[in-house]
Amino acid sequence: MKKIAIADLLSIEAYEAQRPVIRAAMMEHKKTRRLALGPNATLHFEDYMVMRYQVLELIRVEKIRGEANLQEELAAYNPLIPDGKNLKVTFMLEYPDAAERKQRLSQLIGIEEMISIQIDDLSPVYPIANEDLPRSTEEKTSAVHFLRFEFSDEMIAAAKAGANWAVRSEHLNYPYSVESVPEQFTRSLVRDFD
């Protein structure tokens, strides 16, 4: 999948003028890239469009200018774009109440390694989690994890042929699954394999 280049960005002024249209398109796009897993977890499947939008928003808010500064942001965000044989996911555990969040995160240590994606009846794929830095301690897990799922050619071919996808949390304290991921999601995610 294409990575973001400086030429793909807009000036702060140009982005500000186009922001309402870009934002509306992005909200629509994200509907096919945000999958709830049980009541308190969400998988945000990242791609070029989502990361470009994140960079444009960051540039706007932080008033980032200059090629060196922009390259620094691209170096941080481009690794979150799939490479053609993988999916990259921001996995979020969402508990609005702070006391409940603290308690639940202490009960979900290791959950980031127990999320799987299964295409058709092939073996489930487990993620490589938090390559940038550790996000769990012996006392608790983080509310946000970055996951990379690597797929074989056989899995990718099955996905492109319209096979069923299942996403599961196999953590004993959070046993939820989506046994048949809706087609609008799988159509969007299959594009990440190009």
Task: Give 62-129 as a DSSP string.
Answer: HT--SHHHHHHHHHHHGGGS--SSEEEEEEEE--SSHHHHHHHHHH-TTGGGSEEEEETTSPPB--EE
CB 45 within 8 A of CB 87: yes
- The answer as to whether 183 is a domain residue is yes
The domain containing residue 87 runs over which residues?
Answer: 6-193
What is the value of pTM for the model shown? 0.92
Structural domain count, the chain: 1
- The answer as to whether 23 is a domain residue is yes
- The answer as to whether 58 is a domain residue is yes
Phi/psi of residue 7, each to 5°?
-65, -20
- The answer as to whether 188 is a domain residue is yes
- The answer as to whether 98 is a domain residue is yes
Q: Which two three-digit tokens encode residue 172?
A: 């004993």
What are the pLDDT tens digits along the chain (194 aa)? Answer: 789 999 999 999 999 999 999 999 999 999 999 999 999 999 999 999 999 999 999 999 999 988 899 999 999 999 999 999 999 999 999 999 999 999 999 999 999 999 999 999 999 999 999 877 778 878 999 999 999 999 999 999 999 999 999 999 999 999 999 999 999 999 999 999 98
- The answer as to whether 1 is a domain residue is no
| Nearest-angstrom CA–CA distance, 130 and 185 | 24
CB 62 within 8 A of CB 76: no
| Nearest-angstrom CA–CA distance, 91 and 43 | 5
- The answer as to whether 132 is a domain residue is yes
CB 127 within 8 A of CB 149: yes
- The answer as to whether 118 is a domain residue is yes
- The helix-helix angle for 67-77 and 48-62 (nearest 10°) equals 140
